[in-house]
Amino acid sequence: MFGPNLFTNYGEAVSVILFVIGFSNLLLQKNLIKKIIGLNIMDTAVYLFLAEKGYIRDRVAPIVVDGIQEVEAYINPVPSGLVLTGIVVSVSVTAIMLSLTIRLYRRYHTLDLDEISMLLKKEGR
Amino acid sequence: MKKDSAFSRWFYGERDTLLDRVEMKPQTGHAPRAGEIRELMEERRLIREHIYDVEDNQKLKLFHRLYQVAAVVFCATLMLIMLVAVSWLPENGNPDNPVNNEVSARYIENGLQETGAVNIVTGMILDYRAFDTFGESNVLFISTVTVLILLHNKKKKETGAEDVAGGRANTAEKSRKSAGPAEKSGSIYEENLILQKIAGILVPIIVIFGVYVILNGHLSPGGGFSGGAIIGAGLILYQNAFGFEKTERFFTEKTYKWICFFALTFYCLAKSYSFFTGANHLESGIPLGKPGAILSSGLILPLNICVGLVVACTMYTFFAMFRKGDF
Amino acid sequence: MNILTYILLGFLVICAISVTFSKKLLNSVLIFMSYSLVMSIIWMMLESPDLAITEAAVGAGVTSVLFFVTLRKIHAMGEEDVDDEER
């Protein structure tokens, strides 16, 4: 079942494990703040996976030094650019979710999703 | 432009022009009395008992147990599937992987000549994929607007009917107290001499470092996003040490509006120009300069500055909204 | 170099698990902050300094500050802070 490269690809394996941990946080936790932290962990796990894909052994970061422009000198710059935009979007998503959490807390004085749904049912919505 | 036209009124935020015409009423929040809070607490206790009462709620408890088991099984299966997939992926760090195809080769081989940026990643995200970065700056701006809608507290000086809207957010008694004068002036930190002294030393260094990171975005690691975040963090530290009175002297709602407006507009216009002229191998008239100098690489430096301004203002606005609900 | 990578990746997994099981919200936010910092070190070792500097400023800095302010707003940062706000 398992292929030959599970232990050479340890970085990708760890990022997959982190993704699943974040996802289980999202499913199992009742607290909204912990759910948001779980979503952030999923984000960083995906970015770690992309960065591992762009890494090439014994090469340096894609900043041109001394005019050397061979492909053999630098790592793959494409995943770095993708992740760079992703990180900043993730912080804005986090800010929106936290502000929604604050509004929910002001309205219902709790962070537990079960209690919030019970209160909603009681209000008849 | 006429001073009293609908657009200018909307732009200067004097009055909501759609307030009477469209069917839209300001949200009157729920402001409980003192007794009501006790009632709410009692209700919550009752609901909690209702939820977690094992005797009466066998079904709910069974559902929760089933849900947890199903979630754990699902996560384990997902992890197994993805680990198997990872184990069949090509070896990490191998130069012959299919990821390292002609796209990255072209970026590395021709990036310096075509964009003039020494840092290939910056050249990529601000020249080849500049509209992607523009969309991302707009994402930041839109998320700031959303946070403003959700958390904005109107100032008390607008009396009358808007006062109700101003107090709408303060539901609990505690938060109503906290919006009082003590919170407004940020005087909680007034006596904290250690924080003030340290911040007085650190804030200029942090801001200068952020400016350095922005200005050297095309020469070294960094760029608009990271430098802007560093400047925003410096502003947050400054506010925490000296309170809102000091920051309001240079950063208000108007500052944020104008900075974001000019930065995004400049970005859009400049990049549209270079796209329509430069992308078809026509002469765009923007010199690329000597690689390695600060004033080089064409439009990348001004675009970096624009992105940095937007990010810095966004970070500080997030913090101010979360902290006080106002600038 | 390799051993350091193993240690840091293991630290990441431990951090992610302990976020799940920590009782206090403040502790889990602090753990998440250290998680972001270690993630930026790993990116430094994967030869992507752009990502490292951005994550160190955004993930470990601004996101954690936003979490702290949220915790303060929802009165989950302990008694002395609530008193501080009531003053």
Model confidence pLDDT, tens digit, residues C30-80: 999 999 999 999 998 888 888 899 888 888 888 998 998 888 888 766 544
Burial of B4: CB neighbours in 10 Å, binned 0-12, 13-18, 19+: exposed
pLDDT digits (tens, 9 = 90+) for B20-71: 666 655 566 666 566 777 777 777 777 766 665 555 667 777 888 899 999 9
Quote the pLDDT of residue B177.
Answer: 42
Give me Rg for the CA atoms of chain B: 27
pLDDT digits (tens, 9 = 90+) for A68-97: 777 788 888 888 888 888 888 898 999 999
The answer to whether the CB of B185 falls within 8 A of the CB of B245 is: yes
Average pLDDT of chain B to the nearest whole number: 77
Q: Is the pLDDT of residue A17 over 50?
A: yes
How far, in Å, are A2, B116, B128, B222 from residue A61 at the CA level? 32, 17, 19, 12
Query: What is the band of C82 on the pLDDT scale with cuts at 50, 70, 90?
Result: very low
Residue C62's domain comprises 3-86
The C-alpha of A122 sits at a distance from chain B's nearest C-alpha, in angstroms, of: 10
Q: Mutating which of A85, A103, A105, A107 best tests the B interface, going by the most B Cβ atoms within 10 A?
A: A85
> How many domains in chain C?
1
Option in A11, A27, A72 nearest B92 (CB): A11
Quote the pLDDT of residue A85.
Answer: 86
The answer to whether the CB of B174 falls within 8 A of the CB of C85 is: yes
The C-alpha of B256 sits at a distance from chain A's nearest C-alpha, in angstroms, of: 16
How far, in Å, are A85, A123, B24, B327 from residue B233 at the CA level? 19, 41, 37, 16
pLDDT digits (tens, 9 = 90+) for B157-203: 444 444 444 444 443 344 444 444 444 444 455 567 888 888 889 99
Give yes or no for A19 touching C (CB within 8 A). no
Number of A–B residue contacts, CB under 8 Å: 192
pLDDT digits (tens, 9 = 90+) for A28-62: 888 889 999 999 999 999 999 998 888 888 888 88
Which residues are paired to B93 by β-bridges?
Answer: A56
The answer to whether the CB atoms of A47 and C51 lie below 8 A apart is yes
> Which conformational region is residue B307 in: left (phi greater than 0), alpha (psi within -120 to 50 degrees), or beta?
alpha
Break chain A into its structural domains and give their ranges.
5-123
Q: Mutating which of C53, C55, C71, C77 best tests the B interface, going by the most B Cβ atoms within 10 A?
A: C53
Give yes or no for C13 touching B (CB within 8 A). no
The C-alpha of B17 sits at a distance from chain C's nearest C-alpha, in angstroms, of: 32
A 97-116 → B contacts, CB under 8 A:
98-100, 102-103, 106-107, 109-110, 114-115
- The CA-based angle C53-B139-B219, given to 5 degrees, is 35
Query: What is the band of B73 on the pLDDT scale with cuts at 50, 70, 90?
Result: very high
**C65 contact residues in B (CB cutoff 8 A):** 233, 236, 319
Q: Tell me how far apart the alpha carbons of residues B123 and A95 are, in angstroms, rounded to a whole number.
A: 29
The answer to whether the CB atoms of A72 and B95 lie below 8 A apart is yes
Q: Tell me how far apart the alpha carbons of residues C63 and A91 are, in angstroms, rounded to a whole number.
A: 6
Quote the pLDDT of residue A40.
Answer: 92
Quote the pLDDT of residue A49.
Answer: 92
Quote the pLDDT of residue B165.
Answer: 41
**C84 contact residues in B (CB cutoff 8 A):** 188
Quote the pLDDT of residue C76.
Answer: 66
pLDDT digits (tens, 9 = 90+) for B281-325: 666 667 777 777 778 777 888 888 999 999 999 898 888 888 877
Option in C48, C54, C75 nearest B226 (CB): C54
Quote the pLDDT of residue C87.
Answer: 35
How far, in Å, are B32, B178, B187, B188 from residue C82 at the CA level? 20, 10, 15, 12
The answer to whether the CB atoms of C51 and A83 lie below 8 A apart is yes
Please give the CATH topology (third level) of the domain spanning A5-123.
Helix Hairpins (1.10.287)
pLDDT digits (tens, 9 = 90+) for B228-285: 999 999 999 988 888 887 778 888 888 888 899 999 999 999 888 887 876 666 666 6
The C-alpha of A91 sits at a distance from chain C's nearest C-alpha, in angstroms, of: 6
pTM of the model: 0.81
